[in-house]
Amino acid sequence: MSVRGIYTSVNDIRKRVFAEVARLSYNYKDGDLSEMEQIPYRIIPGEVSTYRESVFLERAIVKERMRLAMGLNLRTVSEHAPVSTGAEECVKPEKYYQPPLINIIKFACHACPDNVVTVTDQCQGCLAHPCHEVCPKDAISFKNGKSVIDQEKCIKCGRCVEVCPYHAVIRLERPCAKACGMKAISSDEYGRAEIDQEKCVSCGMCLANCPFGAIADKAQIFQTIQAIKSDTPVYAAIAPAIVGQFGPNLTLDKMRSAFKALGFKDAVEVAIGADLCTIQEAEDFVTEVPEKLPFMGTSCCPAWSVMAKKEFPEQAECISMALTPMVLTGRLLKQKYPGCKVAFIGPCAAKKLEASRRTIRSDVDFVLTFEEVMGMFEAKHLDFTKFESHNTMHGASGDGRAFAVSGGVADAVAHVIAERYPDREVHIEKAEGLDNCKKMMALAKAGKYNGYLLEGMACPGGCIGGAGTVMPIAKSRAAVLQNQKASTNAHAYESSYEEVLPMLAEED
């Protein structure tokens, strides 16, 4: 069970931090960042704590959230320094992320129990004692008629959980660890969560599922706004999952006006790049499967593709080498507007690392999540109802716009193959969530999916379930599919941009 899709105090604090950092950047001049010291007091006012045991702890956590939102490194609780230490680095628009991208604010972590089977107060002390009867290690005894589990003997098999007629025996799992498909989260010496950065693929599911708001990723809000304030035009490349993320008053036909109000030169939909990615992957599949490769996996989700290559190195070449929609759109913009900068606006934490790769830095300059952009809108106090409407974005197909939902990528590729190679049959298998993606790859490695097109999505529901989204997944899916139906062109092969694909897809 996740808190995703429910607006909580954690979401509220995150939004306020993003808004304050955006406001700081819009107002920044003459090298003065002293206002950073006042921001925690605006977000956490007064003398009495609201969320934790101390107002001082609340402000300390906000300070570290501010630093991460500005792309700075965390400080430990033992470090004594102003929150603005090193902040002058943020003024540089070309500042890239310094690893790690996903961070745990240690003194915000609740040190949640991880994989512990325990008996709750709901135990009725029944005569049957099925929990005791099924325990293979004799770990359950009775005290005052109630079941008690000896944690030294317990092997966490869960059989007692399954048989208790009152559901009084439960398994406690750390939410962030449970959400991590890479099993990258363990405990430090104090029982607090710790990320194994060698395993982490930056999907962000841990930060989306931590109910204490102890996990956060770095952002480029400050740097993006500094670029916007310069003489260089900055274009917003908006991902298909954006539909409905900012509420009912900011419809797709108002997106260009909204992003111009933030200072961007214009906004272009990344679904254009999705169409081009579709065409390239369709051609690659027909050419290479099964003659050269036993199967082909889609490329657009960076967390999925990194996981597949990391966990299944012998099958790494089976993951498509097609450039992602983000990169293709960035290249298209840079070709059309030489000297411009591109900010990808999307749902994804992993895209931040993708854009930081040496071969992609020249194509995409900044990556912001929908949640971070919401902070920018808040900082500007924009009224969405007053924005001018545009009849269209830029002519992407419905299939390109459906990249945001699970199954959309594979379906788009299959439609191109069906049109251009009608005699070619395409078998599809898809998975969402890294645990399921791993299972799919294991079966593919065993030869179960020879000749298949595999679609992997790290997040539940696809991109619409990304760590940087604002909207409930089911509601977002409905909005994306409605936008797909409203598209003038249904399929990627109808794209007017296809003729430039060979130039855009050239390897560096």
In the prediction, which pLDDT does 297 show? 97
pLDDT-based confidence at residue 508 (cuts at 50, 70, 90): very low
In the prediction, which pLDDT does 344 show? 98
Residue-wise pLDDT for 441-479, tens only, equals: 999 999 999 999 999 999 999 999 999 999 999 999 999
Helices marked H in 337-433? 350-356, 370-380, 398-401, 408-420
Residue-wise pLDDT for 2-58, tens only, equals: 566 678 899 999 999 999 999 999 999 888 898 999 999 999 999 999 999 999 999
Residue-wise pLDDT for 353-395, tens only, equals: 999 888 888 899 999 999 999 999 999 999 999 988 876 666 7
Q: Which residues contact 223 (CB under 8 A, 6 or more apart)?
A: 71, 90, 92, 93, 94, 95, 366
Residue-wise pLDDT for 277-305, tens only, equals: 999 999 999 999 999 999 999 999 999 99
All domains of the chain, ordered by start, with CATH?
9-111+181-222 (no CATH), 116-172 (3.30.70.20), 223-504 (3.40.950.10)
Residue-wise pLDDT for 150-179, tens only, equals: 999 999 999 999 999 999 999 999 999 999
Helices marked H in 250-295? 255-261, 271-288
Write the DSSP assignment of 148-191 as a string of letters.
Answer: EE-TTT-----HHHHH-TT--EEEE--HHHHH-TT--EEE-TTS
In the prediction, which pLDDT does 506 show? 67
Is 218's pLDDT higher than 80? yes
Q: Which helix (H) or strand (E) holds 331?
A: helix 325-336
pLDDT-based confidence at residue 97 (cuts at 50, 70, 90): confident
Cβ(328)–Cβ(273) below 8 Å: yes
Cβ(44)–Cβ(61) below 8 Å: no
pTM: 0.94
Is 95's pLDDT higher than 70? no
Buried b (16+ CB within 10 A) or exposed e, 277-304: bbbbbbbbbbebbeeebbbbbbbbbbbb
In the prediction, which pLDDT does 301 show? 96
Positive or negative: CA dihedral 475, 479, 481, 482: positive
Cβ(131)–Cβ(158) below 8 Å: no
Is 397's pLDDT higher than 90? yes
Residue-wise pLDDT for 322-356, tens only, equals: 999 999 999 999 999 999 999 999 999 999 999 98
Residue-wise pLDDT for 184-209, tens only, equals: 999 999 999 999 999 999 999 999 99
Strands 185-187 and 193-195: antiparallel
